[in-house]
Amino acid sequence: MRKPNKLPGAVISEEYSLEYGTYTMEMHVGAVQAGERALVIDDLIAIVGTLAAAIKLLERVEANIVECACVIELADLKKSMSSVDTYAVQCNNCFQWRTIPTVEEFEEYRSKPTKDPFFCTKLEGIVYASPTDIEYNASQIWVLDIPSTQKTPKGF
């Protein structure tokens, strides 16, 4: 995966938000096949934009994301995470994003992703056919959890 216009040949791309605007990440078409295991390593994590974009690209090709890791974490990230606006978990069945009201409930769902995966039906009044109950807002700080991703990077 690279910045735009750095890879030769056909690519797929994903736009993501930075502190100061939006950017794009690209990946070769066919670089990762459906069902292949993927390890995502980000050299520097600030607001999780590049990591989220990498995950989205891999999800689009139906890769199995095994782990995410980060080499350097900016010190300000921990301060930012203390003021998270929205916690969200993706359903393991319909893949809709669902808002989780508290950090405690979020941690409970993400603490056992393979033993007790999150399903929409765990939330009162929600069924698989329900429309997603959240919309992305770049002005908010988000914590997202992807099904079958057993750990999120330090600082999440």
Query: Do 93 and 104 fall within a single domain?
Result: yes
Structure confidence at residue 78 as a pLDDT band (50, 70, 90): very low
pLDDT at 156 over 60: no
Query: Do 1 and 72 fall within a single domain?
Result: yes
The percent of residues in the chain predicted with pLDDT above 70, rounded, is 66
- Indicate the residue among 34, 66, 81 that finishes a domain: 81
Alpha-carbon span 107 to 112, nearest angstrom: 9
Burial 90-104 (b: 16+ CB within 10 A, else e): bbeeeebbbebeeee
The domain in which residue 100 lies consists of: 84-150
| Inter-CA distances, 68 with 5, 26, 120, 140, Å | 25, 18, 24, 22
Query: Do 4 and 72 fall within a single domain?
Result: yes
Based on the structure, what is the number of domains in the chain?
2
In a domain, 46, yes or no: yes
In a domain, 97, yes or no: yes
Alpha-carbon span 131 to 133, nearest angstrom: 6
- Indicate the residue among 61, 81, 101 that finishes a domain: 81
**Phi, psi of 54, rounded to the nearest 5 degrees:** -60, -45
In a domain, 117, yes or no: yes
End-to-end CA distance of the chain: give it in Å, rounded.
22
pTM of the model: 0.50
Alpha-carbon span 29 to 108, nearest angstrom: 36
**For residues 13-33, average pLDDT:** 84
The whole-number pLDDT of residue 144 equals 58
Query: Do 46 and 102 fall within a single domain?
Result: no
Tokens of 79: 């301060």
- Indicate the residue among 81, 114, 133 that finishes a domain: 81
Query: Do 68 and 90 fall within a single domain?
Result: no
